Amino acid sequence: MTVLEPEGLYSDTRLEQEILGPGVRLLQGHAKASLAELPDSLLAEVDGLMTLRMAVPAEQIARFPKLKVVVRMGVGYDRVDRAACAARGILVANVPDYGTMEVAEFAVLLALSLRRGLILYHETQRGPDPAPWAVMQSPLHRRQEVQRFGILGLGRIGSAAALRARAFGYDVVFFDPQQPNGWDRALGIRRARSLDELLAQSDVLSIHCPLTRNTRGMIGERELRLLPRNAVVVNTARGPIMDLDALERCLRDGHIAGAGLDVIPEEPPRDPIPSLLRAYRDREPWLTGRLVVTPHIAFHTPEAWDDIRRKGVETMRDVLVEGRRTNVIPPESD
């Protein structure tokens, strides 16, 4: 069997070869942006494909006559055309258990840094004309214990975020129809019966669901305005889940007090960039201390990168070589 790592991520592949075993040949490509850069002769040999940043669209899947398994070396699997894979009987798997702690911590950190004024004071104290050395009045500032921390999507990362937010004193509530009854009791948090019910009581909304056809555009202007006035919104999941233009309107009129975004709909942004991001980059005064944008790095630690590498190849071994169903995404899942 042959496994392809098309991006040439690592200078040596001894770890991968050790895990896959002697019966598997590992090939590296050196594509910079797309599988289209690789020759048909290489793709014709491949039984297993491991990708980190690279998309796997239908037209590229068609170039792999022997392909049996695609492993997305990360949590999100929206970059893989699962319908095209399913039509060929190709299994798709991900790595759902890397970066769990990092992303959960980062989500809570974004909320805390906004709610306690860390971002506001940082921005207003630097430069040649700092703000007065005094308290600033802002609707952002709240004690954690009087707020409800709403979690949309209580998978591995959402659960880890719930535990961390609870440790800081938040009253934690979640909505996730995929989780069985009792999950809330195991974590010591509360369940909302619907998305609307979650939103209506979330002083902080933290998004932790995957990007699917059902979650794309899930949080629009209607949903944002269901949040209590002066709520904070945090997204460390996928950018297209939330309407960025709607978020801007709600920030401008003051319904939303602040937002922390590690993800945006198009990454990296291309011209014309969203107007909210333009206002942020231009440091427009109305956004001071109210918006944090980071470049999809919530997962980033050396330990998380090690997990991506090891767990990615372990998943390939389990599914391709040993016939297990480790981390396989059901083709009928949304």
Cα 69 versus chain centre, distance? 23
CA nearest 46: which of 22, 29, 30?
29
Measure the CA–CA gap between 279 and 281, rounded to whole angstroms. 6
Catalytic-labelled residue, pool 148, 238, 290, 309:
238
Helix (H, G, I), strand (E, B) or coil at 151: strand
Rg for the chain, CA atoms, rounded: 22
- Tell me whether residue 296 is one of the annotated catalytic residues: yes
> How do beta strands 148-152 and 91-93 pair?
unpaired
The whole-angstrom separation of Cα 175 and Cα 107 is 17
Q: Which of 18, 37, 267, 284 is catalytic?
A: 267
From the candidates 63, 225, 296, 300, give the one annotated as an active-site residue.
296
Q: Which residues contact 224 (CB under 8 A, 6 or more apart)?
A: 233, 246, 247, 250, 255, 256
CA–CA dist 75, 72 (Å, integer): 8
Neighbours of 17 (CB within 10 A): 15
Q: Is 283 among the residues known to form the active site?
A: no
Confirm whether 322 is a catalytic residue: no
Catalytic residues: 238, 267, 296
